[in-house]
Structure 1
Amino acid sequence: MGFAVVALSYAAAGLAAWGLVAVLPGRHPLAVTLYADLLATIVVFAASMVVRNASLYDPYWSVAPAVIVAAWVWQAGLSGRRIAVLVLVLVWAVRLTANWASSWRGLGHEDWRYVQLREQRPRLLPWWLLNLTGIQLMPTLVVFAGLLAVWPAVKTNEHSFGLIDVLAVVVTGTSIAVEATADRQLRRHARPGRTLDSGLWRYSRHPNYLGEIGFWWGLWLFALAAAPSWWWTVAGPITMVLLFTFVSVPLMDRRSLSRRPGYADHMRRVPALLPRIVSVAARPSPERRDGVP
């Protein structure tokens, strides 16, 4: 039942977005895409209010980019760079959406972060407004900022496929693999009250977030390869870094501190995102640096 509601809600959102695109001929395609993206988000928001579950929006993070990029590539035609971007985005989207679907337990299950926001919000702040702006519109705008780098990659031909494109494929593909591996390790080895400190989680407290951030940096490299004048779209991956560094990571760390004994020590030993080049445990103590035992 829950997945049927999600499917119907997203179908309605897609139809609304398509209808808006159809009635806005002559506008810049980027602007039209943004308007359609926002309208689709509002439709999903309305559905989430009807079923009283903000998690209805969760797969939008991965579903919307796949639809948008596929539409852009379909309009532009196929080329080496466009195929590479499309395939990578689709692989990322399918995997991330499947990961969400495997962990979502239906309309009776809502992400703990949304429950916390609802319970801790200021009394004068309506839940519908917080849900619309903080949970749904804000991520939509962040993802759209990340997708700005894809536009020149699929719409311009200032430079042919080259070494920067190869680097972009490597960075984007590796990031998808890192995120997928981290999610798989989390599903297999995470236990209530236990801190996962094996596999990728030994080197980063949030390797899944690290992979997600890397994915958006990889897409930006495609923009740099296709049209260096679009370098300013670096604002997209920078926004992703800020979102995960100052919102997602602190939220998860605070929750783990309250639920996992020894997590404070884990935080001291393991960096939040980027692994240390030299492990703290492997560094010589101050007494031994000058050769004195």
Structure 2
Amino acid sequence: MAADRVARHLAAGFAVVASSYVVAGLAAWAVVAARPSQHPLLLTFYADLVATVVVFAASMVVANASLYDPYWSVAPAVVVVAWVLWRTGADPALLTGRQTAVVLLVLAWAIRLTANWASSWHGLHHEDWRYVQLREERPRLVPWWLVNLAGIQLMPTLVVFAGLLPVWPAVTETGRPWGLADVAAIVVTGAAIAIETVADRQLRRFARDPANRGKILDRGLWRYSRHPNYLGEIGFWWGMWLFGLAAAPSWWWTVLGPIIMVLLFTFVSVPMLDRRSLTRRPSYADHMRRVPALLPRRPRRT
């Protein structure tokens, strides 16, 4: 009976997430339909912001900021497919090799990352520990809704959109032929997705074993990097930039996208997770001295 109740609660949670994202998608479509003559890149940006606000509103209704979490991986796939459809007029015969490669890799990344979120989410009663911490530690004069909207939802939306900027020329500029830069982009992006996949699988297997409670994962990829899953995520966005560079070198400045990703993970995500691990595992300080945060190398001897 308890298992059935948990399953029903989980199904209800996923239904809330799915319906919220459907409404967000319809709101984004309405923005696009209202101003069809505007540049698609700018129009996408507006639609992305509106969809984020809809998800934010839903998260406030159910009192769970984690409703936004899958947006990180769902929205980019929708945006990239929309750009390709706009460029090709939905005619598969007009797809270039570069467009096909970008779409397939983005979809592989999005499906995998969303599935990883779904496998670790426990329903509407489960909220990411970082959001709980932000709620508890925010200044009293700062309302929670503002922290939720600006820090948890709008900020990642802007970061991801910056990461997507090089994808725009990659799927809309078709004048340059396939070249070595495209091959490099496929290798980097494919390797990044593989690293994330393996790292998340190793972490999930480690966490599910009761014998590992209180221990530190220092096997597999985690032996050489404290956060190999983050390293894979960063690599994915660098791969997207390489695709943009291959299609239109004049868009080199979109390197700001992957650089912002590096800064986000280096100065926000990694420190938050390390601080939490330090409070939960006394030996983690030694682990930090031996194992680098992101770029892999052999662990130092103590």
Q: Which residue of 2 aligns with 1:223?
A: 244
Task: Measure how far apart 1:193 and its partner are.
Answer: 1.2
Task: Measure how far apart 1:161 and its partner are.
Answer: 1.1
> Structure 1, unaligned stretches of length 5 or more?
283-293
- Equivalent pair of 1:164/1:225 in contact (CA under 8 Å): yes
Q: Which residue of 2 aligns with 1:35?
A: 46
Q: TM-score, normalised by structure 2?
A: 0.92
Matched, 1:104 2:117: no
Alpha-carbon distance in structure 2 between the residues aligned to 1:19 and 1:50: 22
Match of 1:173 among 184, 190, 194: 190
- Secondary structure of 1:159's partner? coil
- Relative distance call for 1:150 and 1:13 in structure 2 (3 A) is same
Q: Which residue of 1 aligns with 2:78?
A: 67
Matched, 1:127 2:127: no
Matched, 1:205 2:216: no
Task: Measure how far apart 1:105 and its partner are.
Answer: 0.2
Runs of 4+ with >2 A deviation: 278-282
Matched, 1:44 2:44: no
Task: Measure how far apart 1:279 and its partner are.
Answer: 4.8
Matched, 1:161 2:182: no
Matched, 1:262 2:277: no
Task: Measure how far apart 1:261 and its partner are.
Answer: 2.6
Task: Measure how far apart 1:219 and its partner are.
Answer: 0.3
- Equivalent pair of 2:59/2:66 in contact (CA under 8 Å): yes
Residue by residue over 1:33-91, the C-alpha shift from the partner in whole angstroms, topping out at 9 and shown as x without a partner, is 00000000000000000000000000000000000001111122211000000000000
Q: Which residue of 2 aligns with 1:194?
A: 215
Residue by residue over 1:134-161, the C-alpha shift from the partner in whole angstroms, topping out at 9 and shown as x without a partner, is 0000000000000001000001123111
- Secondary structure of 2:77's partner? helix
Task: Measure how far apart 1:280 and its partner are.
Answer: 3.0
The equivalences for 1:3-18 within 5 A come to 3-18=14-29
- Secondary structure of 1:280's partner? coil
Alpha-carbon distance in structure 1 between the residues aligned to 2:290 and 2:85: 47
Residue by residue over 1:85-111, the C-alpha shift from the partner in whole angstroms, topping out at 9 and shown as x without a partner, is 000000000000000000000000000
Task: Measure how far apart 1:189 and its partner are.
Answer: 1.4
The equivalences for 1:72-87 within 5 A come to 72-77=83-88, 78-87=95-104
Alpha-carbon distance in structure 2 between the residues aligned to 1:140 and 1:279: 35
Q: Which residue of 1 aligns with 2:167?
A: 150
Match of 1:26 among 19, 32, 37: 37
Alpha-carbon distance in structure 2 between the residues aligned to 1:44 and 1:254: 29
Residue 36 of structure 1 aligns with an amino acid whose one-letter code is A
- Secondary structure of 1:100's partner? helix
Task: Measure how far apart 1:281 and its partner are.
Answer: 3.5
Alpha-carbon distance in structure 1 between the residues aligned to 2:281 and 2:228: 18
Task: Measure how far apart 1:26 and its partner are.
Answer: 1.3
- Equivalent pair of 1:217/1:237 in contact (CA under 8 Å): yes
Residue by residue over 1:221-267, the C-alpha shift from the partner in whole angstroms, topping out at 9 and shown as x without a partner, is 00110000000000000000000000000000000001113100000
Task: Give the count of matched residue pairs.
Answer: 281
Q: TM-score, normalised by structure 1?
A: 0.94
Match of 2:134 among 107, 117, 128: 117
Residue 273 of structure 2 aligns with an amino acid whose one-letter code is M
- Equivalent pair of 1:194/1:261 in contact (CA under 8 Å): no
Residue 12 of structure 1 aligns with an amino acid whose one-letter code is V
Q: Which residue of 2 aligns with 1:240?
A: 261
Alpha-carbon distance in structure 2 between the residues aligned to 1:113 and 1:152: 35
Alpha-carbon distance in structure 2 between the residues aligned to 1:142 and 1:100: 19
